[in-house]
Structures are given as C-alpha cells and as structure tokens.
Structure 1
Amino acid sequence: MAPTREQAYRAFDRFVATHKAKYPKATERLKKDRETLLTFYDFPAEHWVHIGTTNPVESAFATVRFRTAKTRGCVSRNTMLALVFRLGLSAEKRWIKLR
C-alpha cells in the first residue's frame, strides 16, 4: 500500500499501463472508478488500520451465514429472523472497539 495519495496514483497508473494490453475492459473500468477506489486516502492515516479491510464485517456475517445454511428448511421466516437477530447480538459481544 502506498503511504500517500500521490504514490498511490503513480502505482495505479503503472498497474493500468502494465495490464491494459491484456485486460483492456478491466483496466478501463478501473480507470473510470479510480477516485472511488482510492477514497481510502481521504481519511487520516491513523484510521487506515480500521478501514483497510472488510474482514470484521465479513466475519460477523460468516456466523450468520453458517447457522442459517445449517437450519435451512427447518424454520419459518419469523423464526429465521429471530435466529439471525440473536446471532448478531451474540457476535456483537466479541467485537473489538476501535482505538
């Protein structure tokens, strides 16, 4: 990861130049969304550790996904909503507060 926005732009441009011959559609899409992809740099560096990954979000939903897959077909819609709500409450107890 580049330490500054300017270095990120240079790395981004090098990546696009390197891969545009083989992947023209993908690199055009990346160029179109460049500002959105680099929004990360709009925030102070001390926040990067918290916003650089979606793992906390993914891990919270992994528990719900696992349990709902195991109980599929055995419950009503209301029972499933209650199960998901309770799993969310349980997962929330293990969440780490941001520094």
Structure 2
Amino acid sequence: MLTTVPKSAQPWVATLVRTIFDQPTTEQVRAQHAWVIDALQAKYPAAADHLDQAREDLLAFAQFPREIWKQIWSNNPQERLNKEIRRRTDVVGIFPDRAAIIRLVGAVLAEQTDEWTEARRYMGLDVLAKARLRVIPGDTPTQQQLPETLTA
C-alpha cells in the first residue's frame, strides 16, 4: 500500500494505518479502519482503495480473543526463522548444488519445528483453546442438518 503514496507521505500513512491495530475492541477496530480510509481518500485514493479491498484480510485478527491479537499481527517468528536460515547458509557460503541447500534449509526447518513444539510456545495452550471455542453463529450445523450417519 505504501508504494501507492509518495515517499514523503509514507511515514504518515504507515502511522495512520497502525492506529487501526491500537483499538481495544473489534467494533472500534472496524470504525478506525473506516476512518483511516476516509482520511486517505482525499489525498491518496489509490491507497484508500487498496486498504478498503484488504478490509477482511486486514481485520481478520479482530475475530480472535484480544489476548492473542499481538501474536497474530506479529511476523517475529517468521523473521527469526529467516534470520536463522540466513545465518546457517552464510556459514556454508557456496553450495555444490541445489539439493545441498534444500537439505540444509530442510534440516533447519525441522530443528525449528521441534524447538517450537517442545520448548517455545508462541501462544499458550490455554489461549489457543479459548480461540478455538469461539462459535460463529450459523457456522455449526444443527442436529437436524447433520447427516444420518453422524446422528445415529
């Protein structure tokens, strides 16, 4: 989105968009998103259109419990993983073929998966359980809608 505005306006637009994530409730997040679009519409209509088209993807985090919003927004785990892959590949320097780099990166990914599974939970199990318990009206079938094989 920032590529649709002049370089001099990018810090202001980025700060404006960040205000969407600073809201305490889902309703306020949606209201702030609409306000930001209105604020951008006059000077930067392309940025406003882009932000409007990305509404559902951008605001998807608000459907989860407030406690995990920050983990959903953050891309720190991906950045950390990329940094570890870069560090390991820099040590080797030059790879003999494509298969060698795939083996190394695959091993790093497997190691990181094990580490996150056993030691470093990004989100606690209690918070994840609460996130799963959120029922969306109309999302679950009623007893009458279930196939006969499931009700028997």
Give the TM-score normalised by the residue count of structure 1: 0.80
Provide the C-alpha distance between the structure 1 equivalents of 2:103 and 2:78, rounded to a whole number of angstroms: 20
Provide the C-alpha distance between the structure 2 equivalents of 1:69 and 1:27, rounded to a whole number of angstroms: 41
Give the TM-score normalised by the residue count of structure 2: 0.55
Q: Any conservation in 1 of the 2:23–2:29 contact (CA below 8 Å)?
A: yes
Deviation at residue 65 of structure 1 after TM alignment: 3.1
Provide the C-alpha distance between the structure 2 equivalents of 1:26 and 1:70, rounded to a whole number of angstroms: 41
Q: 2:80 is matched with which residue?
A: 59
Q: Any conservation in 1 of the 2:37–2:48 contact (CA below 8 Å)?
A: yes
Q: Any conservation in 1 of the 2:95–2:101 contact (CA below 8 Å)?
A: no
Q: 2:42 is matched with which residue?
A: 21
Equivalent of 1:82, from 103, 109, 120? 103
**Unaligned segments of structure 1, at least 5 residues:** none
Percent identity, aligned pairs only, is: 30
Secondary structure of the residue that 1:9 maps to in structure 2?
A: helix
Provide the C-alpha distance between the structure 2 equivalents of 1:85 and 1:6, rounded to a whole number of angstroms: 42
- CA gap of 1:86–1:4, structure 2 versus 1, over 3 A, is same
Deviation at residue 94 of structure 1 after TM alignment: 4.5
Equivalent of 1:91, from 112, 120, 129? 112
**Unaligned segments of structure 2, at least 5 residues:** 1-21, 125-152
Deviation at residue 46 of structure 1 after TM alignment: 2.8
Amino acid in structure 1 at the alignment position of 2:89: T
Provide the C-alpha distance between the structure 1 equivalents of 2:95 and 2:73, rounded to a whole number of angstroms: 38
Provide the C-alpha distance between the structure 2 equivalents of 1:93 and 1:32, rounded to a whole number of angstroms: 37
Root-mean-square deviation (CA, aligned residues, Å) is 2.1
